[in-house]
A and B are shown apart, each in its own frame.
Chain A
Amino acid sequence: MKPVLRLDTVCKRFGGVIAADNTSFSVLPGEIHGLIGPNGAGKSTLMNLISGIYTCDHGNIYFNEQDITQMPPYERARLGIGRTFQTPRFLQRSNIRDNLLLGTDLSNRFGYTSAFFGKKGDDFESELNKLMQYAGFSFDWDDDISGIPFGQRKLLEIVRSMLAHPKVILVDEPAAGLNNSEVDNVMKLLTVAAKERGIGILLIEHAMDLVMNFCEQIVVINFGKVIASGNPEEVSSNQDVIEAYLGRQRNAQN
């Protein structure tokens, strides 16, 4: 199968800090791909490189084997690279309707003028109904986005990114700050996205049990370098990974 997203020897430095050092990996369609590493390892930098907020110093990024290294971020989003943030980013002063429509706007790109003169986008209500079943809560269209709990906002951000029909979603710590049932719903949504819609998911997460249970492939980075990759068993038994997370074991003889 052709990877939906492929990084090829991507490098990025900020002054003396090497945030990405010859990083290469690829995400297949319908695959939940974990991206883990200690704090400051460069995970969020990679997300920003993929969505185009930062530009690569060296190396290439491919989307469906199309080189997007030089493409501006909004065009990457239109191609089908969705993204959610660690703290959900919504229109603070708007209601839920406007915030969700912002997601559907992405898939209805006929321009501001046509929209102004009444051109309507595709219906998304049935799709939304389906997704909200997995998200496990309901809302009022006219409710303020700031009026609903943090966990629901995070779920809603994933729903919004799915409404845009992306090919790959970059999910940044979806479980952070959520209670157990909300985490379950997040994983349900992501599983639906991957298995039913064939969306590739690149998942940053600190909760190891989640990563080990849900990801088919995992890539571990530290100091910007890929130190291990493979399926959960391979990664969890990898000596470098254990060292990066737990520190080097002191040898009794020395």
Chain B
Amino acid sequence: MKNFTIKKLKIRPATIIVFVVAMAFILLMPQVNSGYKMLCLNLTLIYAMVALSISIMLGMGGQMTFAGVTMMGVGGYFTANMTSGRLGFAIPTLPALLLAPLFTALVALALGLVLLRLRGTYFTFATIGLVQVAWSFYSMNKPAFGGYDGISGVPKLDLFGFVPADYNQWFYILAGGLVIVALIIERIRKTQFGRSLAAVRDNETAALTLGINVYITKVYAFAVAGAICGFAGALYAMMNRYISADTFTFDVGVRYIIMAMLGGVNNTIGCILGAVLIGMLPEWLRVLQGYMQFIYGIGIILLMIFMPMGLSGVFLTALKRYRKKKKIKLEHRASQTAAEKGEA
């Protein structure tokens, strides 16, 4: 009988490859691109954070939500209000960047406590309502959100004296932020919270009998997802230096979901990849600009038919198959050598 001890963290070749590719991407991109291209790439990194927040709710917890875009708005408007001085005071940018996720998490917690009383599809529909209501507030309410004019004059992020001068320098800050978010999500996935969420996703009854408070677990997930969106919104406001309601429409919200679905809703690298693809596709396929909606539409249908778990799902299945084959081969070889020894 073999013994079961939990092995210490084993670093696999795939992990190293991902790490190297990511580092190369982060270091190379600002060297070869500049100006508008770089802005698009930067926005992509912000989208990726929102896509990752969806991966917490939908990928880990199985709760479909459109609220990501709204929570990003909460973080963005909070930052704009706090730092632009339009309310008669202004706090430094770094504290604002740290307070924005906290504030958004609190808003999300309050909303989650109400909305997650609803289950499954009903919850999803309620978040659609939330996005619409929030958008009308963002676009109409002048005192809090600047109305149609939005809020301008948001100062740039001052990171202990380092103020990004152009989009290339912003890229490093955003990439750093994205790495932090990705690490937090990976950590959640590997600890009790992630397991509880997975249990909620797969079977709520079984989760309850395993001592998991299904409702509160969902609410926490909503708050954590909100915090990540708030962080993304704060970074967006500071990079763009201007914020308006156009950024937080339902249409934009749907695009975040597509990013997460394309990359693989339960996979961190996949979500980032999906955000990059969807974010950069209009740039890469500029000749086809008029057909973009059409391409999106067909793409989503094909995606759902042929790879429901996204690009990462296809990749992981292939990887698993390869490892299994390797394992069988090794076992076969071991049994062969054992047999040979027996003969000798």
A residues contacting B by CB (< 8 A) are 51-53, 72-75, 77-78, 81-83, 85, 89-94, 97-98, 101-103, 105-106, 108-109, 112, 115-116, 125, 128-129, 132-133, 138, 141, 144, 164
Alpha-carbon gap, A205 to B207, bound state (A): 23
The listed residue (B1, B202, B203, B212) touching A132 by CB distance below 8 A is: B1
Residues of the B chain whose Cβ atoms lie less than 8 Å from the Cβ of A82: 209
Given contacts A105-B192, A112-B191, A116-B188, contact A89 B4 (CB under 8 A): no
> Does B3 sit at the interface, judged by CB under 8 A?
yes
Alpha-carbon gap, A128 to B220, bound state (A): 31
Q: Would you give the shortest CB distance from B62 to chain A, in whole angstroms?
A: 11
Alpha-carbon gap, A116 to B196, bound state (A): 13
In the complex, the answer to whether B210 meets A91 with C-beta atoms within 8 Å is no
In the complex, the answer to whether A112 meets B193 with C-beta atoms within 8 Å is yes
In the complex, the answer to whether B1 meets A105 with C-beta atoms within 8 Å is no
Alpha-carbon gap, A73 to B188, bound state (A): 24
Given contacts A116-B188, A129-B4, contact A109 B211 (CB under 8 A): yes
Alpha-carbon gap, A115 to B220, bound state (A): 14
Residues of the A chain whose Cβ atoms lie less than 8 Å from the Cβ of B266: 93
Q: Would you give the shortest CB distance from B197 to chain A, in whole angstroms?
A: 10
> Does B111 sit at the interface, judged by CB under 8 A?
no
A to B contact number (C-beta, < 8 Å): 94
> Does B5 sit at the interface, judged by CB under 8 A?
yes
In the complex, the answer to whether A89 meets B208 with C-beta atoms within 8 Å is no
18 A/B residue pairs, CB under 8 Å, sorted by A:
A51-B209, A52-B208, A53-B209, A81-B209, A94-B195, A101-B195, A102-B196, A102-B210, A103-B210, A115-B192, A116-B191, A116-B192, A116-B193, A125-B4, A125-B5, A133-B1, A138-B2, A144-B320
In the complex, the answer to whether B4 meets A102 with C-beta atoms within 8 Å is no
Alpha-carbon gap, A14 to B192, bound state (A): 36
Specify the chain A residue showing the minimal Cβ separation from B309. A93
CB-CB contacts of B183-219 with A at 8 A, as 1s and 0s? 0000110011101101100110111111111100000
Alpha-carbon gap, A141 to B320, bound state (A): 14
> Does B7 sit at the interface, judged by CB under 8 A?
yes
Q: Would you give the shortest CB distance from B184 to chain A, in whole angstroms?
A: 8
In the complex, the answer to whether A112 meets B211 with C-beta atoms within 8 Å is no
In the complex, the answer to whether A91 meets B195 with C-beta atoms within 8 Å is yes
Specify the chain B residue showing the minimal Cβ separation from A133. B1
Alpha-carbon gap, A74 to B1, bound state (A): 35
In the complex, the answer to whether A102 meets B195 with C-beta atoms within 8 Å is yes
Q: Which of B187, B209, B320 neighbours the largest number of chain A CB atoms within 10 Å of its CB? A: B209
Specify the chain A residue showing the minimal Cβ separation from B7. A141
In the complex, the answer to whether A105 meets B210 with C-beta atoms within 8 Å is yes
Given contacts A53-B205, A125-B6, contact A102 B191 (CB under 8 A): no
Given contacts A115-B191, A132-B4, A138-B2, contact A74 B196 (CB under 8 A): no
Specify the chain B residue showing the minimal Cβ separation from A105. B192
Specify the chain B residue showing the minimal Cβ separation from A79. B211
In the complex, the answer to whether B4 meets A141 with C-beta atoms within 8 Å is yes
Alpha-carbon gap, A96 to B223, bound state (A): 29
Q: Would you give the shortest CB distance from A66 to chain B, in whole angstroms?
A: 16
Closest CB pairs A-B (n = 3):
A77-B211, A89-B206, A112-B193
Q: Would you give the shortest CB distance from B329 to chain A, in whole angstroms?
A: 16
In the complex, the answer to whether A77 meets B2 with C-beta atoms within 8 Å is no
Alpha-carbon gap, A105 to B210, bound state (A): 8
In the complex, the answer to whether B202 meets A89 with C-beta atoms within 8 Å is yes
The listed residue (B3, B5, B188, B195) touching A105 by CB distance below 8 A is: B195
Alpha-carbon gap, A75 to B193, bound state (A): 17
